Amino acid sequence: MSERFAVGAQAVREHVVRAEDCATNWENDLPVLATPVLLWLAEVTSMKVLEDDLDPAEMTVGFKHDNAQHVAATPEGWTVTVTATVTEVDGRMLTFSVEAHDGVEVVYRGTHVRAVIDREKFLRRFEEKVARS
C-alpha cells in the first residue's frame, strides 16, 4: 500500500468563507470562520491528495486530528487556501500535515490522520448498525 501513497504528496483547496461557515452558526457571536469548518477543510483537502490513488473499492475515513490549532480569525468573504501534505504512511493509516492561510497569515495548522478502508465492508457494517437500532 505504501507504494501508492507517497510521502510528500500534496493537494491544495481554496475556500471562500460563506455566512454558513461562520462561528455565528456554531453558538458563537463572532462572524469569523468557525473552527469546525477548518477541521472539515483539513479533511476534504487530505482526501483530495488521495483521490487518484484509491482503488474503486476503497475509501478513506477520518481517524483523528492532532495538534489542531486555529491561530487567527478569517472574515466572511475571504479566501482560505488549505494545503495538505502526506507526512507518513503506516499500512492503511495516512498522516497529513495541514495548513491554512487566508492571504494575510496562517490561520490553521495541524495533523490529520485518515484510514484507507474497504467501502463495501464499511457500508455493510453501517447498515447492520442502523438495522439494529
Q: Which residues are catalytic?
A: 35, 43, 70
Match 469546525 to its residue by C-alpha cell: 36
d(CA 64, CA 110): 11
Phi, then psi, of 28 in degrees rounded to 5:
-130, 155
The grid coordinates of residue 60 equal: 478513506
Strands, DSSP E only, in 3-121? 10-16, 58-70, 79-90, 93-101, 106-118
